[in-house]
């Protein structure tokens, strides 16, 4: 359907949120910035009070949860996550209406079909999501230290792949983080590196054909949009000749948008 749109509202350790919009209805994946900021960003994109069908949460960390309770109450829509995530989130916020979606299961949320899949991160029960609308599929995974089977399967059939490319390993090890923090980020329950992300995406392209890629959740300290983009392009193009479109979901502000069949040129990255 031509009325499907996806908008990155924020992507990084200071906040994450993606709006999936079809006509006058929307679905929010994560809500990790303030309620006021999210409400304004969604209103600009045509989603106002009463037009949001749900908020799906990947895990309970603040950069994915911060505005969730406020938006849920204000827009009159449920929070959707697995039981462990909802329980962990309830210690931080008063959640209000919520719906359990067991990891690996799927459900209909308004016009959107949503399926979760397990990822590997230091949270209660972290997941990514595959969102489907009239045959168009969006895969979303922003916090995972290793590549899970569920992640590979979700990317396989997605026309838009939103994948973490958090850090450059050399930058991380030479950077200012403490040794404990460096080990956490690089661990199997931390975050995907540029190298891991590029290798996974090249494999996905070679096995399953063209797609659009958003590199997401870039570290402010251990990465940059321009570096991540250049690295991914070089690494992917050295492994496959399958065509793809690659963009960067920027930190702290709305950035890239996607519509099926449309090519959007992203401004120069700094």
Question: pLDDT by residue (tens digit) across 15-71?
Answer: 999 999 999 999 999 999 999 999 999 999 999 999 999 999 999 999 999 999 999
Q: What confidence category does residue 179 fall into, taking pLDDT thresholds of 50, 70 and 90?
A: very high
Tell me if the domain spanning 4-253 has CATH number 3.40.50.300: no
Q: What rounded mean pLDDT belongs to the chain?
A: 95
121-142 confidence digits (pLDDT tens): 999 999 999 999 999 999 999 9
Give the pLDDT score at 261. 82
Over range 102-110, report the average pLDDT.
98
Alpha helices by DSSP H, the chain: 35-44, 62-65, 68-75, 83-90, 149-156, 169-174, 179-186, 194-208, 225-239
Q: What confidence category does residue 252 fall into, taking pLDDT thresholds of 50, 70 and 90?
A: confident
Q: How far apart are CA 225 and CA 270, in angstroms?
A: 7
The model's pTM is 0.95
- In three-state secondary structure terms, 62 is helix
Give the pLDDT score at 269. 52
Supply 226's token pair.
């321009």
Strand partners for 129: 116, 140
Q: How far apart are CA 18 and CA 129, in angstroms?
A: 11
Query: What does R_g of the chain's alpha carbons equal in angstroms?
Result: 17
- Helices 35-44, 68-75: crossing angle, 10 deg rounding: 50
Over range 152-178, report the average pLDDT.
97
More confident residue, 161 or 263: 161
**Distance from the Cα of residue 214 to its chain's centroid:** 9
Alpha helices by DSSP H, 57-146: 62-65, 68-75, 83-90
Give the pLDDT score at 267. 46
Q: How far apart are CA 250 and CA 152, in angstroms?
A: 24
Q: How far apart are CA 4 and CA 179, in angstroms?
A: 44
Q: What confidence category does residue 2 fall into, taking pLDDT thresholds of 50, 70 and 90?
A: low
The phi and psi torsions of 118 (rounded to 5 degrees) equal -70, 140
Q: How far apart are CA 264 and CA 270, in angstroms?
A: 18
- 253 Cβ contact list (under 8 Å, min separation 6): 10
Q: Is the pLDDT of residue 177 over 90?
A: yes
């Amino acid at each position: 359907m031509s009325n499907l749109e996806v908008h990155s509202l924020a992507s990084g350790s200071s906040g994450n949120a993606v709006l999936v919009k079809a006509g006058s209805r929307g679905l929010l994946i994560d809500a990790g910035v303030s309620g006021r900021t999210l409400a304004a960003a969604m209103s600009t994109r045509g989603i106002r009070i009463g037009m949001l069908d749900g908020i799906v949460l990947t895990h309970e960390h603040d950069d994915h949860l911060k505005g969730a309770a406020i938006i849920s109450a204000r827009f009159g829509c449920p929070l959707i996550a697995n039981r462990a995530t909802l329980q962990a989130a309830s210690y931080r916020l008063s959640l209000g209406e919520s719906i359990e979606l067991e990891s690996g299961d799927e459900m209909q949320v308004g016009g959107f079909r949503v399926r979760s899949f397990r990822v590997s991160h230091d949270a209660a029960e972290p997941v990514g999501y595959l969102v489907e609308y009239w045959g168009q599929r969006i895969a979303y995974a922003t916090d995972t230290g290793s590549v899970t089977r569920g992640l590979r399967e979700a990317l396989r059939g997605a026309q838009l792949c939103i994948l973490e490319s958090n850090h450059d390993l050399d930058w991380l090890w030479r950077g200012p983080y403490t040794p404990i923090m460096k080990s956490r980020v690089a661990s199997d329950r931390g975050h995907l590196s540029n190298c891991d992300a590029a290798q996974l995406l090249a494999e996905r392209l070679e096995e399953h054909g063209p797609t659009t890629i958003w590199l997401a959740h870039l570290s402010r300290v251990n990465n940059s949009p321009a570096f991540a983009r250049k690295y991914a392009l070089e690494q992917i193009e050295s492994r496959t000749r399958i065509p793809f479109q690659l963009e960067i979901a920027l930190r702290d502000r709305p950035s890239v948008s996607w519509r099926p069949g449309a090519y959007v040129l992203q401004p120069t990255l700094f």
